[in-house]
């Protein structure tokens, strides 16, 4: 029996919930993810996380808490979303090369009475790389559906020199903060029947 609705189609978020042993049911929601006029990046990710959680809660029949999350890559106070095409992805990668940027991930849980949301900000430092590396990375197919045109958990890891903050938040879900929020809804982590010694 699932104890949580995951309002996301992201396989990475599903894997992260599996990692901490939280039974869940995947129920993707389709929302407009365009920033509002003059919306600050922190407000943007928090709004989307809450909206996704609320939509998932309603879609599931309003009987099980729902979790929504949103991740954005921020460079020079600009939100870098998923690339529209190759040219857009290459432009993002050129700008990120050899520089530091922020990854903001908000996680929200809704049960009809409450919406608890927290945003985690991680600093990511990229190595410098040339155009051929950027084009080869695009050709791999990985950047196409990733905010900022890269995935730290995949081939994009070779572009990352260092991070300061939560690795799991950059992947898509800050696990320590997620566990703390879930506890407020009486959902504990490590709810697995597998033997940890196995």
Which residues are tagged catalytic?
A: 70
Is residue 129 exposed (0-12), middle (13-18) or buried (19+ Cβ within 10 Å)?
A: middle
Residue with tokens 């954005």: 72
Residue 52 and residue 125 in contact, taking contact as beta carbons nearer than 8 Å? no
């Amino acid at each position: 029996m699932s104890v949580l609705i995951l309002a996301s189609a992201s396989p990475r978020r599903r894997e992260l919930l599996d990692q901490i042993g939280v039974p869940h049911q995947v129920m993707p929601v389709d929302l407009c993810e365009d920033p509002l006029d003059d919306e600050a990046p922190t407000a943007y990710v928090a709004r989307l996380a809450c909206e996704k959680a609320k939509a998932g809660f309603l879609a599931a029949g309003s009987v099980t808490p729902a979790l929504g999350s949103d991740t954005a890559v921020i460079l020079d106070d600009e939100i870098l979303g998923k690339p529209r095409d190759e040219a857009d992805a290459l432009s993002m990668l050129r700008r990120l090369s050899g520089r530091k940027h922020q990854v903001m991930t908000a996680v929200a849980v809704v049960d009809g009475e409450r919406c608890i949301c927290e945003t985690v900000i991680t600093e990511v430092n990229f190595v410098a790389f040339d155009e051929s590396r950027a084009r080869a990375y695009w050709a791999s197919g990985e950047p196409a559906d990733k905010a900022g045109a890269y995935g730290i958990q995949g081939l994009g890891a070779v572009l990352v020199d260092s991070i300061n903050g939560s690795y799991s938040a950059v992947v898509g879900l800050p696990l320590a903060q997620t566990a703390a929020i879930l506890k407020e809804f009486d959902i504990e982590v490590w709810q697995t029947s597998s033997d940890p010694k196995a």
